[in-house]
Amino acid sequence: MKQYHIYASILLIIGIVGCTPKVAAPVSETTTQPVVEESPTNPNCIQLDDLSGSKKEEVETAFVLYRDFLPKDSNKEAEILSRKPTDKSAIATWELEYNSYLQSVDANYTQAYEMWKVAYESAPAANGSIQYHFDDGIKIYKYQYSKADTPTEKAEIVAKVRALYAKRKECFGDEAYLNSREGFDLYYYFPGEVSDKEIYTLFKDNLEIKKDQADYFIINPMAKILSDMAIAGDLSPSEAGKYAKIMHSAIKKATTNCVKDCESWKVVESYAPARLENLEGIKGLYDCSYYTEKYYANFKTAPTDCETINEAYRRLKWGGCDDANPMLQEIAAAKATHCKKQIVAASEPGPLRQAYNLYESGDYLGAVKGFEDFANSTTDVDKKAKYLMLVAKIYYRDIKKYSKARAFAEQAASVKSNWGDPYMLIGKLYASSGPLCGPGTGFDSQVVTWPAIDMWNKAKQVDPLQADAANKLIRTYTQYMPSKEDIFSRTIKEGSTYKVGCWINRNTVVRTP
C-alpha cells in the first residue's frame, strides 16, 4: 500500500499522463463564482432560507467548516517527494514523514466529506447564488476515486460526480458550460468510465451553443475524440467536419490578438490544429471553403512554385471545389504556366498515366489503386519499389493514413533491400505523430522520436547515400527526446527497451538528449 501511495503521488506531480492531449484545466469557480440574481424555484433545489431555524444554523455551519478541512492545493507533496533520499539509511525517516503527510490528507478529506454531505444534501442550492460547493464536492470525489480499489467503487463515485453535475444544471442552468466541465472531468480524471461518445455529446453541446467562443479547455480533448471517432467511422464526415470547422474558428478567433486565457490557448494551438488537419484525409469531411481558405492562401505566398501550385490544385479538387471556382481557376492557370515540365511515367497513354492523372486531379484514392495495381503487375524491381513508395507517400502526405503509409514503405523496402528511402519516410511518419499519439508536448508525444531515430539510423545503415539527410534529422530530433527527469519520474531506465504505443506499436530503446 505504501508503494501504491508513492506511485499515485508521483503521477499527481507529473500530471495526467497517457495518450491524452494536454490542456489547461478550466478555471475553478471557487474564486470566480458567477452571481445568480434570481433564486431557483425548483423544489429539488432547496436553499438555506427554506430550512427551519436550527436546521439552517446546522447547515450554514457545515458549509463553513467543511472548507476548513478540505485540503488546499499546494506543493507540499511535491516538496516532500523532491527530498526523497537515495541513501538507504535515511529512507525510513523520509517514508515516515511522507506516510504521515498522506494520512493527514486522508483524514482531512474524510472529515471534509462528512460535513460537505450535510451541507450539500440539506441545501443543494445554498443561498441561491454561490456554487463553489459543487466544485468542492467534485474535488472530494476525485480524491476518493484515486483511492478506490475496485471497478465497482470507481463506477459508484463517477455516478455521484455525474449526479452532482445534473443537480447543478437543474438548480443553476448554464448547461452548455457545465456539460463541457463534466466532459472535461470525465475525460481527464475518470478515464474509461464512460464512452468517448458520451463525452463527445457533452462537448458538442458547448460547440453548438458557443460556436467560435467555445471554452478553451474542451478543444484539445474534443479534437482527439472527434478525430478518433471520424477515423473509426463512428461519425459521418459531414458531422465531424461541422464541429472541426467550429473548433478551427474558435482557435483562430482566440489566438488572433488574444486578450484572455492566452497561455491556455497556446497549449490548444500546439495540439488541436495538427490533430484536426489529419482529418483532411477523409473525403468529404471538409468542404471546398476549408480548402480554399487554407491552400489558396498557401498558393498566394508562392504563386510560381510548382510544388505549392500542385498541392493547392490537388487539395481544392479533393475538397470538391467546382471547376468554375475562381480560386481554383487561378491556381489552374498558374499550373499551366509554371508547371509544364511535369515528371511523367510514360509518354504513351496507359494505366500508369491514368494513375498520374487521377493524382494530379486530386483523386487520391483512385491514384493509389492505379499505382498499387501497376506495382503488383511489374517484375521490374526498381519500378515496383518506386511505385510502392509513391503510394506510401500519398497515404502519408495526402490521405494521412500513417499505418497504411508504413505498410507500403515496408513493402518497398522488402522489394529493394539496399534502399534507404522507405526507412527515411517511416521515420518521418513516426516523428510527425506527436499530436496523434500524445498531447503534442511532453513525454507521450516525445517518445515518438525514439523509433523515428531508429528508422533514420537504419536508412543510413542500408543506404550510405542517405547518411547526410538521416544525420541531419537525427540531430534535429534528438533535442526533442524525453528528458532525464521525464524518464526518471516514470522509473524508466536509459538504455532499456520501451514499447511506443498508439498506431506506431513498436519497441525501441530509451534515450535522452
The most distant pair of C-alpha atoms in the chain lies apart, rounded to whole Å, by 96
Residue 367 is assigned to a structural domain of this protein: no
pLDDT higher at 17 or 29: 29
Q: Residue 79: what pLDDT? A: 85
User: Distance (Å, rounded) from C-alpha 168 to C-alpha 110?
Assistant: 23
pLDDT at 7 over 80: no
pLDDT category, 17, cuts 50, 70, 90?
Answer: very low
- Mean per-residue pLDDT, 362-391: 95
Nearest CA to 383 out of 351, 345, 409, 418 is that of 345
Q: CA distances (Å), 358 to each of 330, 362, 368, 370, in order?
A: 20, 6, 9, 9
- Mean per-residue pLDDT, 80-103: 86
pLDDT category, 90, cuts 50, 70, 90?
Answer: confident
User: Distance (Å, rounded) from C-alpha 10 to C-alpha 81?
Assistant: 8
Residue 90 is assigned to a structural domain of this protein: yes
Residue 273 is assigned to a structural domain of this protein: no
Cβ(199)–Cβ(160) below 8 Å:
no
Q: 3-state SS of 117-168? A: HHHHHHCCCCCCCCCHHHHHHHHHHHHHHHHCCCHHHHHHHHHHHHHHHHHH
Q: CA distances (Å), 493 to each of 59, 248, 488, 511, in order?
A: 53, 40, 7, 9
User: Distance (Å, rounded) from C-alpha 103 to C-alpha 123?
Assistant: 30
Nearest CA to 288 out of 312, 314, 322, 313 is that of 322
Q: Residue 13: what pLDDT? A: 33
Residue 412 is assigned to a structural domain of this protein: no
Residue 389 is assigned to a structural domain of this protein: no
Last residue of a domain, one of 210, 225, 241: 210
Cβ(145)–Cβ(190) below 8 Å:
yes
User: Distance (Å, rounded) from C-alpha 199 to C-alpha 453?
Assistant: 36
pLDDT higher at 440 or 368: 368
DSSP 271: T
- Mean per-residue pLDDT, 382-398: 96
Model pTM? 0.81
Domain that holds residue 51: 2-210
Q: Residue 27: what pLDDT? A: 59
C-alpha angle 285-286-290 in degrees, rounded to nearest 5: 175
Residues 6+ apart with CB under 8 A from 396: 402, 405, 425, 428, 429
Residue 413 is assigned to a structural domain of this protein: no
Cβ(171)–Cβ(128) below 8 Å:
no
Identity at 71, one-letter amino acid code? P
Q: CA distances (Å), 200 to each of 64, 79, 184, in order?
A: 36, 37, 10
Residue 311 is assigned to a structural domain of this protein: no
What's the grid cell of residue 76?
Answer: 507540499
Q: What is the pLDDT of residues 129-188, one digit of tens each?
A: 999 999 999 999 999 999 999 999 999 999 999 999 999 999 999 999 999 999 999 999
Residue 180 is assigned to a structural domain of this protein: yes
Is the Cα torsion angle 146, 148, 149, 151 positive or negative in sign? negative
Domain count along the chain: 2
Last residue of a domain, one of 146, 178, 210: 210
Helix (H, G, I), strand (E, B) or coil at 500: strand
Last residue of a domain, one of 178, 210, 242: 210
pLDDT at 510 over 50: yes
Cβ(178)–Cβ(210) below 8 Å:
no
Q: Residue 170: what pLDDT? A: 95
Q: Which residues pair with 509 in a beta bridge?
A: 497
Lowest mean per-residue pLDDT among 75-84, 262-271, 489-498:
75-84
DSSP 398: I
